[in-house]
Structure 1
């Protein structure tokens, strides 16, 4: 059963939920190498796509920490409809980091107060390069406004301390020493960990991530003892070790790689068929996922699996869940939850 944030901003809001060692994101980041023999892996925030069914799917395939989509603080704290639609969770959705787009302390503190009972941490988005967000002082704009960003971090940590974890996800500056200075200031302000996307605000995703930049920054803030997560170009499990070994990061955040293959951290180089069946199960079990969004999730996974182009085109021409389920039954050996072999197949089980 989903748990929805209290839609009434003026009603007394529950206290932050109790973080245990098993659900504490910071503890997981610091100890995963000793408990599991590998660095921590994280499913990063994806606009629209990091909804509850997809988060649960990622958890089914060895993801340690999962983020919500970015939520705009100004809308969430003022609009009941935004609160209902932007965040749904359940008791399996742990540890969860709720990412926020925000440009002032007041909205951030109100936002954190409202989501703290339902998550294990909050991440401030300082990496979104969309021009509209930057114009409003959100996303990438914050890496050029260190005073504001650090004041927001201090405000949250002064109020909540270790009862709630706080992360900042940043991009790099053209001049890397600016990023080093920003990270050192964030550490001094109390941030629990920093995620560094190794691209500038103008770097296209088609260009390789700058691992040298991430390594440069990590080396120069090592004395702060604040974990750093590397973000960018993680598409296979082997990338987790390669990136962390080269940069010295405590772990890796994947975004595009997980969208096309939610099982990548379980060692699958190509999305397995079982992932499709599990996605269907969670999407229908939890509900609330718009049809076109579910359709696009399936499209991304099928592209990774190199589904026949004619079938991919057919699927994208469908208009509702009923016709999509019928299409699956017509073309594949499509198992439901509870049936023998559900969620286990690797290859596409074509019927024709």
Structure 2
């Protein structure tokens, strides 16, 4: 496959994330399906695999605006795309209007929307006024949203991804401010800054917030604890959200939204294909992606441990060929096998 250079985007119904989120319940009888941003893991090969399995919209990992706008090396390392990488939301970590406007100017021609990260709970980011710090600084967040929308209007779709406060009225107030500023949609992660991921997501909180801003005509995406396909309907129905975002669930099973309870083997073959086509993943990330998928498939534990001892991509390919019927892109039956095709099944 020849990797094509993306051309500047024009929003149509096919790639406009706002249109997709607003209409999926009518056109597909379900909420919009969204692959959320994951540090390191939401890179181009993984995004392409998700698109093969009924994911409507995919996010990049968070990109730090201050580095991106000042450093050419950071731009090359942080953002890779292609003509079929769409609809795509580029998520940004930012704490001032100037950096955000420069970032949008540089990135928006090559994506379908920008998402401001207001949910990252990492202490280093919060100290710099990035991520979760922004839900406690609604005036700054609203000013950044307003600056982008005043300059670009509907030419640039803009989202804010937030966490909830202990006092939900603060979250409602925050949502009202960004709605006033012109945000296109809001993603709500139903945990506070200090809630551990092992604790259940608060769907009732998301439902309450949606009920309080319903008259704003700004769609809401619910995020948190979407691990299997049935969670899509459960989260959507419980909260009333227009879209459902999965993150950890898709890392383990990129076919989650395509009604596969367990990651199918064909998904793994497709991931290998995209990883080799783009050659953008360091070996450790490639290995970890495969580990997550194979663990979800319940690969025999001795084999899983053995895979993690391998040191480079050549060893990894040889290991797959030795242990499995591992099809390449041009092989008949590529990407369609469901169960693990052990080569020497007892």
TM-score, normalization by structure 2: 0.98
SS in 1 for 2:192: coil
In structure 2, C-alpha distance between the alignment counterparts of 1:24 and 1:279, rounded to whole Å? 26
In structure 2, C-alpha distance between the alignment counterparts of 1:267 and 1:150, rounded to whole Å? 38
Partner of residue 192 from structure 1, selected from 184, 206, 216: 184
Matched, 1:34 2:30: no
Partner of residue 236 from structure 1, selected from 223, 228, 250: 228
- What is the match of residue 67 of structure 1? 59
Structure 1 segments, 4+ long, off by >3 Å, are none
SS in 2 for 1:350: coil
Matched, 1:94 2:64: no
SS in 1 for 2:173: helix
In structure 1, C-alpha distance between the alignment counterparts of 2:209 and 2:23, rounded to whole Å? 22
Partner of residue 243 from structure 2, selected from 248, 251, 258: 251
Matched, 1:292 2:284: yes
The CA deviation at 1:17 is: 2.6
Q: Is contact 1:3–1:88 with CA below 8 Å preserved after alignment? A: no
- What is the match of residue 202 of structure 1? 194
Deviations 1:277-302 (A, max 9, x none): 00000101111111110100000001
Partner of residue 129 from structure 1, selected from 121, 124, 133: 121
- What is the match of residue 213 of structure 1? 205
Map 1:1-352 onto structure 2 (within 5 A): 1=3, 3=5, 17-352=9-344
In structure 1, C-alpha distance between the alignment counterparts of 2:310 and 2:175, rounded to whole Å? 47
Q: Which runs of 5+ in 1 are unaligned?
A: 5-13
Equivalent residue pairs, number: 342
TM-score, normalization by structure 1: 0.96
In structure 2, C-alpha distance between the alignment counterparts of 1:50 and 1:247, rounded to whole Å? 26
In structure 1, C-alpha distance between the alignment counterparts of 2:264 and 2:13, rounded to whole Å? 32
The CA deviation at 1:2 is: 5.3
- What is the match of residue 10 of structure 1? none
SS in 1 for 2:158: strand
SS in 2 for 1:100: strand
In structure 2, C-alpha distance between the alignment counterparts of 1:266 and 1:310, rounded to whole Å? 29
Deviations 1:53-107 (A, max 9, x none): 0000000000000000000000000111100010011110011000000000000
